[in-house]
Structure 1
Amino acid sequence: MIHFTKDILHNFESATSREWLETNGIGGFACSTVIGVNTRRYHALLTAAMHPPAGRIVLLSKLEETVIIDRHRYDLSTNQYSGAVHPRGHTNLEGFRLDPFPIFTFAVDGVRIEKSLFMVHGQNTAVIQYRVSERGTRSVQLELRPLIGFRDYHALTHENEALDRSVHVHHEKLASVRPYPDNPRLYFAHDAEELSPKGYWYRNFEYALERERGLDSVEDLFNPMTLRFDVSARESATLIASTEVVDVAPADVLCRQEVDRRALIVADLPAEDELVRILTAAAEQYIVNRGDQKTVIAGYPWFTDWGRDTMIALPGLTLVTGRDEIARSILCEFARHVDRGMLPNRFPDSGETPEYNTIDATLWYFEAVRSLLQYTADYPFVSAHLYPVLAEIIEWHIRGTRYGIKMDADGLIASSDPKVQLTWMDAKIGDWVVTPRNGKAVEIQALWYNALRTMEDIALKTKIPADAQKYSTLADLAQHSFNELFWNEEGVCLYDAVLDNQRDASMRPNQILAVSLRHSMLSKERAKAVVNAVERDLFTPYGLRSLSPADSRYRGHYEGDAVARDSSYHQGSVWAWLLGPFIDAYFKVNGNGKKVLDQVREWQRVFSPHLTEAGLGHVSEIFDGDSPHHPRGCFAQAWSVAEVLRAVLENGVVRKSGRSTKAVAVS
């Protein structure tokens, strides 16, 4: 259990750097800081996915909370404005914990108030409860003032005359608002004694992280009503915000159901390790519905489902956690969207046609299938549902598809459109592709070879010898050409990309995949040299740098406006997901003796405190390349969580069996 005490909660800077996340399994979410002050446009108590898993709208931004004890008013909420923090309810906080969802403990004039918040799985519904204790015979009331946004989750809202201020009271315990005709109706089920429908605009909230990112950072929010609860003689007050008509009465039942559902997720952990327990619980939050199948949200708070991220994350989110049926569902869902031999790069927020600007997502699909077979040996399923799609993908790559993606005469895969960023190093500013890697990129060849050997294996197991021979021949050709073309004798490592006769010797982490993937084209000696070079120049305990600090283009900090950030995204920033391939490769070339295990466990020890320092219980998207490697980007990234979890379990870094109940405490 992750928890914090007053030393963190009363330190505004420390508290606002720690963010909690609740999700609902259909793309909706809630998130904020451990003291409830919103520092991002994405912070809200209910962001609904109206076209799951996309179509996200911020409905309920936050609550203004006041407790009245014997007629004395005390604020529980905290807001930031330009040059001011008001009110300062966080000074009344004495504890915060994830148990399993966010629980805030306030101590006000001797009265204890415990606030909890969770989302109902499968619904755009947030349940907020307050439990009061140690009040004696005193009079205690609670006032809640909902602040609504009703906007796209990437946008901001401001005071306007178009907003419909009316509150529809369905009955004494249910009210709703619909401030704009194009938005859904938001229902408030409650057990308050009084509802006052008089509304007000709250102006000029400042979101500090948006300001730091060079974006619009000031928002106005509307308060449509005030709810007053008398908790002098009862123990709790409840508010449920939902896009559905809901009843407040079953709130406690919903709470127990959610606690039980989450307990099942971590009931049978594969290892006795707190990092494994935390990341197993986190893994479930990225798996969401897309129609009647499953997909993966790439990261919170701003990504939807991306093809590349989904395939890389699939083994860690589903297979190592024993959820192979979800893995099958995801693979089938993406098979439906294969077009011209390509997997979608991403599904846009508004749900229109998927985008296919990726060369590697499709090849990662083969690795996800290989991983499924590693865990389940379910060749009949792959043969019946996936093999025809996989074979078609290979044929498209041989004859050519979008963006000039085509197998060359040497058996390697090339792309010929310099204006499109096709690899995972995909930052683009206007017409400027920041890390141009067209031609033949090193990891694409590693993935292509891995795909061909995977197809050879499937064909052999399912008794299609002609196909097996074809894929074996193609793989042999690719392996020979790769070693001839990509080995950098001077650097004793691999080139990052080859375009015509130009070889890019940039020291980047992409070459680690030529070692880490199950099917590798390198000799043991060359594999060892690659791992040594990557460890020497790129390794940090939080992941691999995207460019060597010795390179003149290296950027050690990811900060500033959009141009500054995008130009450093893959020019030095540390990517946590690459810990997975690096650990695989490290064990592959060094063995798994005690000295090697001790070294990796030491890296794990250094890494683990991160789970309490940014997105609580999650792993950030990126970190600064320079020490102390401050976390950046999304505070909760699917492939970061998945690859760390997969690597430590598959390589025996954590000790098997049993389950831990040890708490992770920060004070």
Structure 2
Amino acid sequence: MSYIQFDKKQLLDLSYSLNKEIIRSNKAGAYSSTTIVGCNTKRYHGLLVAHQPGLEGVHVLLSSLDETVIVNNASFNLGVHKYPNEYNPNGFVYMKDFSADPIPKSTYRMKNVVLTREFLLVEHEERVLVRYIVEQATEEITLRLFPFLAFRNVNQLLRADEGIQPGISTVEDGVSIQLYPQYQELFMQVGNNSKFVSQANWYYNIEYPEDLELGAPYQEDLYVPGYFEVKASKGDIILFTGGPDVIKAGNLLRMFNNQTRKRTARSSFENCLKVSAEQFVLKTRSTPEARKYDRTDVIASYQRYRRGGRDAFIAIPGLSLVQDDLKSFKAVLDTMLKYRKGAFFPFWKYNDSQVTYEAIDTPLWFFWALQQYTHRLGDRQAVWKNYGKAIREILESYRDGTEYQIKMQDDGLLSGSEDGIALTWMDAYIDGQPVTPRAGFPVEVNALWYNAVCFALEIAGPRSTEGKKVLNDWKGMDEKIKKSFQKAFWDPKKGYLADLISLDRKNKDWSVRPNQILAASLPFSPLSDTQIRSVIEVVKKELLTPRGLRSLSKREASYQGNYRGTQTQRRLAYHQGSVWPWLMGHYVEAYLKVAEREEALPYVISLYRGFEETMSEHGISSISEVYDGDAPHAPRGAISQAWNVAEIIRTGKLIEEFDKATQPVSL
């Protein structure tokens, strides 16, 4: 039995099964995603979603592949689409079960026929492979495959268009089609002596319920140029492929088997995390002919294809742990440095032209990521040689003042403020205005700032020109910042830290938020052990859930416990109560700093293992973007979030290292 499997009863309940999604990606930057019953419920879904030369972002080429099985003149359509007021066809009624290990596998039963369907993406190609096996059949069947084509960016929707190029070219064992001239041809092939029957149709007003709930456009028309038809009997294997060029159909089975062997079985919680982590690191070449990868990015989440410095720096330490992959770790840091502007690192919202740099904390997360890299590499001299110049420049930029009024003040604390811009990780917007602007002195920014200065002083090479300058210019600044931090943010009566101090320092925001846990967890903490324990107790009482930390205490008037509804409703809840799993890593790290072995290990292990339940909750074998602040803490947002997966992996490593370090000594 598969580690993650769903039975017929679960599949028939659409209120249950339509909320379970699968995501598969490859090293070419393509992905495939849908629900476990094969019904696309959002514009991001598609069987083949890939890059296109000269176009930005990723594009849904093949939205779905519908199957019709004909047995003794009776037709069974296995596809599932949502139309106004109905699902049609309703192929989910024929599903017997669905499993996710090692690749997605759906089993269908129709009369005396049992058919299995599996799909995967080829590792280094923007190509999908679909394999059908006739497991049972008392007579010959006919299988028809209908490709639903979109040829559009993932953030758009297609409507019936007379401007398409509907012409089909015949290729070996299949056809090619290019709906629009700016796109590549899509080559679709089927082995087993199949034939393609041209029968062009538009399927109108297919609906995406997830987009409807968001208040976004939610209907589109998809183009089906015809269908592949093949005869099959018990034991036969039929393979379909869609990709950017023609391949030998006779090689499809060998290709499918070779690709399957490369997959890590999702046979345990740890393996699920490992496979999920691998999907976020994307290596690309500037040209197809280039011998080396010249860019390594962290995809922030699926299916939203966003990239940026903050996500990369928070996520890559944990993502690279699964293979102890220091090469990719360094490649991500180096890629971000290529795009650095002054102190700042980029965030690409959807594609390379939509890039922003406003983030006060991202450069400081770069220091934290570099700390993790240095710890694992064990060679401070090499790290300083490669990154010392960037370290010095960022520190000096923040000290002297830069964009967004970011500047170190006379007492060493760091402030930033820009009307209409959210500078911290709490960066949701409504109508162009930040929900939580947090202008002034944010607590986690100053904790990160202190950590960055301490790390720079620790790693600076005293024999290098850069190192001497850092050691001379910043000597004693660490103690100054620590003293100022304590005075500004700590209240001994309350027993926790202010979340924000206004720019003029006249007001302090004492809302209980999780940002203070970073002051306790970072390698260089400005807090005493007693203060760390106090912060942990407040965070545990007010914010801790089985899925991470709430972004705001339930006691606050602006608390929003459910991340649902329209985009506006969701943004109001995003950092005002929604639970963020990545913060669990920092909670556990802070806890292990000050706890005794006997009490700590069972507790933190239970927190870590609690995430095993999420493997079948929303994004199958991954961890979702956010969870409701209110119980039962339902999964919401993107189905697979990089820094969440990364920090739960790192949590497991922290526990392992703590266990080894605190083992009783045998006499």
Asked if these proteins are the same fold (TM beyond 0.5), I'd say yes
The alpha-carbon deviation at position 435 of structure 1 amounts to 0.4
Report the 3-state secondary structure (helix = DSSP H, G, I; strand = E; otherwise coil) of the residue aligned with 1:509. Answer: coil
Name the stretch that deviates more: 274-283 or 465-474. Answer: 465-474
Which amino acid counterpart does residue 226 of structure 2 have in structure 1?
A: M
Matched AA of 1:4? F
Aligned partners of 2:363, 2:251: CA distance in 1, in Å? 45
Deviation at 1:95, TM superposition (A): 1.7
**Structure 2 counterpart SS, 1:58:** strand
Moved more, 614-623 or 157-166: 157-166
Could you tell me which amino acid in structure 2 is paired with residue 539 of structure 1? L
2:65 equivalent in structure 1: 63
Instruction: Determine if contact 1:600/1:653 at 8 Å carries over to the other structure.
Output: no
Name the residue aligned to 1:255. 256
Check whether the contact 2:136–2:234 (CA below 8 A) recurs between aligned residues: no
Give the aligned partner of residue 289 of structure 2.
Answer: none
- Which amino acid is 1:222 matched to? Y
Deviation at 1:301, TM superposition (A): 0.6
8 A Cα contact 1:597 1:653, kept in partner: no
Q: Residue 582 of structure 2 contacts residue 648 of structure 2 at CA under 8 Å; is this kept in 1?
A: yes
Match of 2:582 among 577, 582, 586: 577
Matches within 5 A, 1:111-122: 111-122=113-124
**2:590 corresponds to 1:596:** no
In 2, Cα distance between the equivalents of 1:446 and 1:421?
Answer: 18
Query: Residues of 2 paired with 1:523 and 1:81: CA distance?
Result: 60
Equivalent position of 1:665 in the other structure? none
Q: Does the 8 A contact of 1:53 with 1:289 survive in 2?
A: no
Q: Secondary structure at the match of 2:220?
A: strand
Counterpart of 2:621? 617
Distance 1:387 1:4, change over 3 A: same
Determine whether 1:626 maps to 2:630: yes
Structure 1 residue aligned with 2:143: 142
Please name the residue that 2:175 is paired with. 175
1:478 aligns with 2:481: yes
Cα RMSD for the two superposed structures: 2.1
Q: What does residue 336 of structure 1 align with?
A: 338
- Deviation of 1:560 after TM superposition, in Å, equals 1.3
The residue that corresponds to 1:280 in the other structure is: 274
Per the alignment, do residues 516 and 154 of structure 1 end up closer, same or farther by CA in structure 2, a change over 3 Å counting?
Answer: same
Residue type matched to 2:545 in 1?
A: T
| Cα separation, 2, equivalents of 1:504 and 1:472 | 31
Asked whether the 8 Å contact 1:456–1:469 carries over to 2, the reply is no
1:487 to 479, 485, 490: 490
SS state at 2:199 partner:
coil
Give the aligned residue type for 2:251. Answer: P
Offset at residue 454 of structure 1 (A): 1.4
Letter aligned with residue 480 of structure 2: L
Larger deviation, residues 361-370 vs 90-99: 90-99
Give yes or no for contact 2:135–2:234 (8 Å, CA) kept in 1. Answer: no
Q: Deviations over 1:290-335 (max 9, x none)?
A: 4423110000011321210111001110035311110011111111
Deviates more, 1:281-290 or 1:69-78: 69-78
Offset, 1:174: 3.1
Deviation at 1:490, TM superposition (A): 3.9
**CA separation of 1:655 and 1:94: change in aligned 2, threshold 3 A:** farther
Unaligned 5+ segments in structure 2 are: 286-293, 661-667
Is 2:551–2:577's contact at 8 Å kept on the other side of the alignment? yes
Change (3 A) 1:250 1:462: farther
Task: Tell me: CA distance 1:624–1:343, structure 2 relative to 1, closer, same or farther (3 Å).
Answer: same
Deviation at 1:380, TM superposition (A): 4.4
Aligned to 1:400: 401
Change (3 A) 1:541 1:55: same
Q: C-alpha displacement at 1:418, in angstroms?
A: 2.9
Shift of 1:51: 5.7
Q: Mapping of 1:152-551 within 5 angstroms?
A: 152-171=153-172, 173-191=173-191, 192-232=193-233, 235-263=236-264, 274-291=268-285, 292-344=294-346, 346-352=347-353, 354-460=355-461, 464=467, 467-468=470-471, 470-499=473-502, 500=504, 501-551=506-556
Task: Please give the secondary structure, in 2, of the residue aligned with 1:444.
Answer: helix
Distance 1:386 1:261 in 2: 35
Distance 1:299 1:208 in 2: 20
Contact 1:28 1:53 in 2 (8 A): no
Amino acid corresponding to residue 488 of structure 2 in structure 1: L
- Match of 2:89? 87
Question: Are residues 128 and 166 of structure 1, via their aligned partners in 2, closer, same or farther at CA, if it must alter by over 3 Å?
Answer: same
Preserved contact between residue 27 and residue 54 of structure 1 (Cα < 8 Å): no
Give the C-alpha shift of residue 53 in structure 1. Answer: 11
Q: CA deviation at 1:460?
A: 4.9
Matches within 5 A, 1:553-568: 553-568=558-573
Structure 2: how far apart are the matches of 1:510 and 1:162? 52
User: How many equivalent pairs are there?
Assistant: 645
Q: Distance between the aligned counterparts of 2:221 and 2:355, measured in 1?
A: 33
1:642 has 2:640 as partner: no
CA positional deviation for 1:469:
5.0
Please give the alpha-carbon distance, in whole angstroms, between the structure 2 residues aligned to 1:482 and 1:99: 50
Identify if the C-alpha distance between structure 1 residues 619 and 107 changes in structure 2 by more than 3 Å, giving closer, same or farther: same
In 2: Cα distance, 1:437 partner to 1:327 partner:
31
Equivalent residue number for residue 76 of structure 2: 74
- For 2:251 and 2:101, locate their aligned partners in 1 and report how far apart those are by CA, in whole Å: 20
One-letter amino acid matched to 2:276 = A
Unpaired runs of at least 5, structure 1: 267-272, 657-667
Distance in structure 1 (CA, Å) of the matches to 2:351 and 2:615 = 32
Q: What do residues 441-470 of structure 1 show as CA deviations (whole Å, max 9, x unaligned)?
A: 101011111111111121158774553354
Give the equivalent residue in structure 1 for 2:663.
Answer: none
TM-superposition CA deviations, 1:468-496 (whole Å, max 9, x none): 35444221111111011111334210001
User: What is the identity, as a one-letter code, of the residue corresponding to 1:635?
Assistant: I
**1:360-419 deviation line (CA, Å, top 9, x unaligned):** 111101111110111111334423322211221111111122211111111111112132
Amino acid at match of 2:500: A
Task: Mark the CA change 1:628 to 1:209 in structure 2 (over 3 Å): closer, same or farther.
Answer: same
Please give the per-residue CA displacement for 1:228-280, whole angstroms capped at 9, x wherever unaligned: 011137611111111233333322232233233333x99xxxxxx93222101
C-alpha separation in 2, matches of 1:399 and 1:257: 56
Which of the pair has the greater relative contact order for Cα pairs under 8 Å at 6+ separation?
A: 1
Q: Distance in 2 between matches of 1:405 and 1:379?
A: 29
Q: One-letter code of the match for 2:78? A: L
TM-score by length of 1: 0.93
Aligned to 2:611: 607
Larger mean CA deviation between 362-371 and 155-164 belongs to 155-164
Partner SS state of residue 554, structure 2? coil
The residue type paired with residue 180 of structure 2 is Y
Give the conservation status (yes or no) of the 8 Å contact 1:453–1:471: no
Matches within 5 A, 1:16-55: 16-50=18-52, 55=57
Amino acid across the alignment from 2:398: H
Deviation at residue 101 of structure 1 after TM alignment: 1.7
| TM-score scaled by length of structure 2 | 0.93
Q: CA deviation at 1:86?
A: 1.8
CA contact (8 A) 1:379 1:461 kept: no
State how far apart, in whole Å, the 2-side matches of 1:57 and 1:413 are.
Answer: 41
Instruction: Report what 1:270 is aligned to.
Output: none
| CA distance in structure 1 between the aligned counterparts of 2:659 and 2:81, rounded to whole angstroms | 44
Structure 1 pair 461–625 and aligned structure 2 pair: CA distance change class (3 A) = farther
Greater mean deviation of Cα atoms: 507-516 or 333-342 = 333-342
Contact 2:11 2:95 (C-alpha < 8 Å) held by counterparts = yes
Cα–Cα, structure 1 residues 37 and 427, in superposed 2: closer, same or farther, change >3 Å?
same
